[in-house]
Amino acid sequence: MKPRDLLLALAVVVVWGVNFVVIEVGLEDFPPLLLSALRFFFAAVPAIFLLGRPPVAWRYVVGVGLALGVAKFGLLFTAMDHGVPAGLSSLVLQCQVIFTVLFAIAVLRERPRKAQVIGIAIACLGMVLIMLDRGLAAPLGALSLVIVAGAFWGVSNTITRYAKPQDTLRFMVWVSAVAVVPLLILSLLTEGPRTDVDALRGIDLTGIGAIGYLAFAATLFGFGAWGYLLRQYDASTVAPFSLLVPIVGMAAAWLWRGEAVGLQQAIAAVLVIGGMACTVVRRRARAKENTEQAVLAEPV
């Protein structure tokens, strides 16, 4: 990888890792579903008029929009609003790799490699350690929502494998547009019109900055740069960088939010990240893959 592109990949990793802390900050000003809707509104609405029609069939755009935009992000934001810390969220959410591999086996009839089976077992052991860690300041129900969010991410990855979008930025913009209205409706029904209106009326620079980061840095820059890298290099070269996202997320949460990492959680993190590495890293001799396979490791 060229030095410039290496720096770009690392920049995406940092942006996506810090993203979890920004979500936590944004939740101090907005209810979770409204925050998610605002993120996708500002990521999508200005861009759809510039980028034109999505590069794939509408059914794939709608499917990914509902699975990724509404279910995955709606559940993630709700879980974090109910007490799952940013660093822990960045780690547990990577269970999406496990679900993506399992869905690929069940739906796409892909045959798992031995390394993938071993990786899933190792990552699952790490997840069990996290669930058993009674020192975590996270309700078990909320933590379960993050795991369900990871499952829906696996669903969206499987749909994306079918769609095979050539322009990932334009695809993500239209996926974002699909998510806006359902999230707004869910917010009005569950969080209440008064809560939403009060949040919008009381918006300050911190809230504006959080929405701007989520929409433009994490979504448009992140997916645009990731798509560029996938067009320049094999998926096996790009995908492993995503393994750094939970590391950055946990470090950022420790630095800015004071989120401590205990010994059991540290061991669990090593197991989860190591297990994910087994599922996405291939030997150099087998490195030639189609670009769409990198959705196994596309971060938040």
Residue 250, pLDDT score: 85
Q: Collapsing DSSP states into helix, strand and coil, what is residue 55?
A: coil
Q: Say how far apart CA 238 and CA 123 lie, in whole Å.
A: 21
Is residue 210 a contact partner of residue 25, using CB atoms and an 8 Å limit? yes
- The Cα-based distances of 83 to 21, 143, 144, 175 in angstroms read 13, 8, 12, 28
Q: What is the pLDDT of residue 291?
A: 46
Total domains present in the chain: 1
With contact defined as beta carbons under 8 Å apart, do 66 and 179 qualify? yes
- pLDDT for 239 equals 67
Structural domain containing residue 199: 3-297
pLDDT at 284: 45
**Residues 6 or more apart in contact with residue 39 via CB below 8 angstroms:** 73, 176, 211, 214, 215, 218, 219
Q: What is the mean pLDDT of each run of 10 residues along the chain (300 residues)?
A: 88 93 95 96 85 87 94 95 89 82 77 76 79 63 91 88 83 92 96 95 93 93 84 70 82 86 76 74 49 49
This prediction has a pTM of 0.84
Cβ burial of 253 (10 Å; 0-12, 13-18, 19+) is buried
Matching residue, tokens 């798509």: 227
State residue 28's pLDDT score: 94
The pLDDT value recorded for residue 119 is: 79
The span from the CA of 199 to the CA of 19, in Å, is 21
**pLDDT score of 73:** 95
